[in-house]
């Protein structure tokens, strides 16, 4: 899902940037399983069969994740609930409007979560990446609001693509467009953070 937990793609982007392909966590790769299955099923069948497959794949992702790590993150549960809710509505009413809106709703939730975390001085991105990338709190605030803006923009773009262009175009945008935008955003974020890191931490990071 490219609604999939953005943290997974940020971590994946960091690993790629540092050329540690062998260190890319399996948990992050598992996050892409529902997206791949959704796309493949859509190409062979239709949006309704693909929506059902997405629900099943997201459930499978949770089961495999728990089997491997004995833990399921809250954001994965939220994503599963949203996928199941909107996917079921899509199937019951035989209307792809619901599955299309899911993307925007999930990105809106991500934006709200980041904004709230910043307001209470517990930025989510810092908790995710703070051990690897040591910068001042004001820099984390800049990055947080940058991602809030990004998620809002993605949600709005999704509305345009979903309801102004063809269904196939929307599926391709969901799978490839949002993935590319997120990875590009990750690169921009890491470059910005790296620029503001103390020299000693830069040296430690480049040695890894």
Domains of the chain by residue range: 6-207
First-to-last CA distance in the chain? 30
What is the pLDDT, as a whole number, of residue 5? 47
Cβ proximity of 94 and 48 under 8 Å: yes
Cα gap 149→181, rounded to integer Å: 13
What is the pLDDT, as a whole number, of residue 110? 87
Cβ proximity of 152 and 107 under 8 Å: yes
Cα gap 149→185, rounded to integer Å: 11
Q: What predicted TM-score, i.e. pTM, was given to this entire model?
A: 0.83
Cα gap 78→84, rounded to integer Å: 10
Cβ proximity of 80 and 74 under 8 Å: no
Residues of the chain where predicted confidence (pLDDT) is lower than 70: 1-28, 130, 200-208
Q: How many CB atoms lie within 10 A of CB 132?
A: 16
Distances from the Cα of 126 to the Cα of 1, 142, 193, angstroms: 24, 11, 11
């Amino acid at each position: 899902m490219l609604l999939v937990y953005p943290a997974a793609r940020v971590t994946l982007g960091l690993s790629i940037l540092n050329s540690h392909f062998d260190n890319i966590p399996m948990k992050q790769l598992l996050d892409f399983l529902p997206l791949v299955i959704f796309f493949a099923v859509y190409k062979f069948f239709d949006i309704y069969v693909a929506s059902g497959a997405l629900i099943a794949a997201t459930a499978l992702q949770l089961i495999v994740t728990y089997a491997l790590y004995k833990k399921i993150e809250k954001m994965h549960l939220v994503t599963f609930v949203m996928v199941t809710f909107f996917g079921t509505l899509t199937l019951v009413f035989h209307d792809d409007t619901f599955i299309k809106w899911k993307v925007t709703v999930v990105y809106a939730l991500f934006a709200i979560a980041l904004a709230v975390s910043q307001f209470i001085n517990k930025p989510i991105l810092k908790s995710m990446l703070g051990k690897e990338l040591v910068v001042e709190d004001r820099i984390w605030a800049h990055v947080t609001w940058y991602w809030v803006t990004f998620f809002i923009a993605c949600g709005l773009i999704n509305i345009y693509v979903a309801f102004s262009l063809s269904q196939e175009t929307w599926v391709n945008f969901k799978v490839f467009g949002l993935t590319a935008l997120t990875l590009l955003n990750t690169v921009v974020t890491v470059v910005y953070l790296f620029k503001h890191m103390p020299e000693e931490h830069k040296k430690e990071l480049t040695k890894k």
